Amino acid sequence: MRFRLALAVALITTMVACGDSATGPTGTSRLTVLLKDSPFADAKSLIVTFSEVSVHKAEGEWVTVPFSGGVSSRTCDLKKLTSAQDVLGTGALTPGRYTMVRLVVTSAALYFENAAEGAACAPTLTATGRSAQLEIPSGEVRLNRPFEVAEGGGTTMLLDFDGERSVRETGNGRFMMTPVITVVSVQ
């Protein structure tokens, strides 16, 4: 009898605390976008600056996922992400179905002699020594990968930036980057 009473009190308390989802405010969920790399082998650092991470809601609007720390861009040394991963962006999203992820890459550079010091991703990173700026013909990468964001939950997406397939030498010491990024997992 006491067990049933305790269960009933717990159920009523939960219902009152949660409210009626049909009439209450819509909840939000969190999306965290993580980045790892399969690096470009011929350099000590591959420093890439992202200016935007956004997701496409099935109803047709693009939603920006803020960078960690509230900065306007995020720079990562992809060579430091070969055996680790770092947060590219995290933010609140309305629950629902999303169809794509868009990343905008604004700049990239190879450093052949010295690796960048510090964290793998930060608002800015630099390295020293012989380097080459990468030409980026299309700085926008769209990943067609539908996923659901449940109400009140968290969704984590792991992206793999393939440095080896993204960077190629074009001659005369010039390099080009065509970002090759895949969605490894969505949980």
Quick: pLDDT tens for 11-49: 222 222 333 322 223 568 999 999 998 777 889 999 999
Q: What is the pLDDT of residue 70?
A: 80
Can you tell me the distance from the alpha carbon of 116 to that of 113, in angstroms, rounded to the nearest whole number?
Answer: 10
88 pLDDT higher than 50 = yes
Q: What are phi and psi of 18, to 5 degrees?
A: -80, -30
Q: What is the pLDDT of residue 124?
A: 83
Q: What is the pLDDT of residue 17?
A: 30
Burial of 50-83, coded b for 16+ CB within 10 Å and e otherwise, reads: bebbbbbbeeeeeeebebbeeeeebbbbbbbbee
103 pLDDT higher than 80 = yes
- pLDDT grade for 84, boundaries at 50, 70 and 90: confident
Tens-digit pLDDT profile for residues 128-144: 999 999 999 888 899 99
Task: Give the residue carrying structure tokens 């390099």.
Answer: 175
What sign has the CA pseudo-torsion 141, 44, 176, 83? negative
Can you tell me the distance from the alpha carbon of 83 to that of 14, in angstroms, rounded to the nearest whole number?
Answer: 42
In the three-class reduction of DSSP (H, G, I as helix; E, B as strand; rest coil), residue 110 is classed as: strand
- pLDDT grade for 123, boundaries at 50, 70 and 90: confident
